[in-house]
Structure 1
């Protein structure tokens, strides 16, 4: 499932007070950097986005702690907006939690395959059995991801503002919605990468062929990067279909390297998601305290 396109929703007709300009400028800079990288969905780019989101939420926290922000959001006429932001934050926390669980399970699955490969002399059947368990787990994780992304559909990328003459608060709420949207987009990219294409490539497809013959340049010329998850899937499909013999040591070494890359990738995701989760919790607490002083 492709990540939703990020939309800039804030209107220039809703200027924030000049006293907030430094913080607003910081948030805008973070948002612009994150939006500029939307076209890139490699694992390193997503890890960079997760780090960028942490910096973004640090600035958001400072904005929410300002007396102006707290006084503006506590107004009765703005209670609906705050509730809407709280609902969005809860959905994003659920999505982030799902991403954390999926990443952890993927890392553990890859580690199990690595362990069996290191003791391969214990038997080919053991390895094939572990690979089959890996793909069973992958299917379960894919279903979890698809369900989480479907549930996210309720979090609209564009919302209609209720009428208000308070342009300053309207602009601030719009800014917070942008933060919500870019967070959603990044998590969708991450989950979509882990899930993989809807239709898995067959063992005899170009992807497996290129992996088997180590023609990475040909893969790059095919128009898209092959991420760590797809590489491991393709190599293990070769194995489970008995197209790779024990004597092919070079393939075994390549698979070990791919699994190691996947482990490092998932570790980066795990660290980034944990920090992001804490940042979002902190922002949600500020909003809750504003609603219930």
Structure 2
């Protein structure tokens, strides 16, 4: 779309005056938060801890973004160049982030509800009860529904993430980096929810038993690398395995109870972190729209 006469006369002036070559301290602060976000991969001890840390980093990051958007020079740049492609991309990106965050919240909430329901059932039934095995299969089926929804969400992220031209504007470059980093966190969280691809057929028993039964775990370090959801899924597949003995059923049921006890608070923390971040993302989009419509 062609620029208006005002834009044609003012583009160079807006770029050189409203956004100087030296980055604003808030832009530098945003970059520091981005570095902190990347560093969280190497400082956390488990996948859920890493994700909680990343969500906390993103909340601080978007608080900084909100302040950046309140700068007169940032608002002037958006108002003067509202017909430029990069402005439209910022708006589209803010909506895309809201959609991705909503998909992540839905997946986490569904996982939490399924986890609580299974915990309730386990309190009422013994591990060697056939009715309990049916409930386990129902839970695993619900997990498949979640996985399909997550896979659709992940494909949506890939299809909407296009190659964007680099801008000389520090604000634009920083906001695009933040958008990409945020999508990466959502992808990591959704991948965490999906968990491993374990087969429910008897041939998977050797893998399942290695993952689950304490007496068969070869290395404690491997245990800490697996996510809580991965270990719960492995324990449940062990329960419905045709090669599992009654004693194994009881051991696995106890193991599932312990794992669910650890999983539930982690999932709850992720839900709360996503909810806080969702509110931040809404504020960011509203700020962009208010500036654009000014």
Q: TM-score range by the shorter chain?
A: 0.7 to 0.9
Match of 2:184 in 1: 185
- Within-5 A mapping of 1:98-113: 98-113=103-118
Match of 1:24 in 2: 27
Greater Rg, structure 1 or structure 2? 2
SS at match of 2:205: coil
Match of 1:75 in 2: 80
> 1:73-125 deviations in whole A, cap 9, x for unaligned?
11136542121111111111111111111111111111111111111159823
Match of 2:3 in 1: none
Give the number of the structure whose residues are more often helix, by fraction.
2
Report if aligned partners of 1:219, 1:225 keep a CA contact under 8 Å in 2. Answer: no
Match of 1:263 in 2: 264
Q: Give 1:237 deviation, angstroms.
A: 0.7
- Within-5 A mapping of 1:94-243: 94-121=99-126, 124-156=129-161, 158-161=163-166, 167=168, 170-198=169-197, 200=199, 203-214=204-215, 218=219, 220-221=221-222, 225-242=225-242, 243=244
Q: Quick one: structure 1 residues 200 and 249, their matched pair in 2 at CA, closer, same or farther if it must change by over 3 Å?
A: closer
Q: Quick one: structure 1 residues 205 and 225, their matched pair in 2 at CA, closer, same or farther if it must change by over 3 Å?
A: farther
- 2: CA distance, partners of 1:153 / 1:266: 25
Q: Quick one: structure 1 residues 28 and 118, their matched pair in 2 at CA, closer, same or farther if it must change by over 3 Å?
A: same
SS at match of 2:55: helix
Q: Quick one: structure 1 residues 209 and 182, their matched pair in 2 at CA, closer, same or farther if it must change by over 3 Å?
A: same
Query: Which is further off, 117-126 or 97-106?
Result: 117-126
Q: Comparing both chains, which one has the higher relative contact order based on Cα–Cα distances under 8 Å and sequence gaps of 6 or more? A: 1
Report if aligned partners of 2:133, 2:239 keep a CA contact under 8 Å in 1. Answer: yes
- 2: CA distance, partners of 1:214 / 1:48: 32
SS at match of 1:17: coil
Q: Quick one: structure 1 residues 215 and 27, their matched pair in 2 at CA, closer, same or farther if it must change by over 3 Å?
A: farther
Question: Which stretches of structure 1, 4 residues or more, deviate above 6 A after TM superposition?
Answer: none
Matched, 1:51 2:52: no
Report if aligned partners of 1:219, 1:226 keep a CA contact under 8 Å in 2. Answer: no
- 1: CA distance, partners of 2:290 / 2:164: 24
Where structure 1 has 5 or more consecutive residues not aligned to the other structure, the ranges are 1-13
Query: Which is further off, 255-264 or 31-40?
Result: 31-40
Q: Give 1:171 deviation, angstroms.
A: 1.6
Match of 1:9 in 2: none
Matched, 1:35 2:38: yes
- 2: CA distance, partners of 1:53 / 1:155: 21
Equivalent of 1:62, from 48, 60, 67? 67
Match of 1:10 in 2: none
TM normalised by structure 1 equals: 0.83
- 2: CA distance, partners of 1:100 / 1:32: 25
RMSD: 2.8
User: Size of the alignment, in residue pairs?
Assistant: 273
> 1:240-286 deviations in whole A, cap 9, x for unaligned?
22525368655433211101111111101101110111110100111
- 1: CA distance, partners of 2:199 / 2:180: 29
Q: Give 1:129 deviation, angstroms.
A: 1.6
Q: Quick one: structure 1 residues 151 and 247, their matched pair in 2 at CA, closer, same or farther if it must change by over 3 Å?
A: closer
Q: Quick one: structure 1 residues 176 and 256, their matched pair in 2 at CA, closer, same or farther if it must change by over 3 Å?
A: same
- 2: CA distance, partners of 1:85 / 1:184: 14
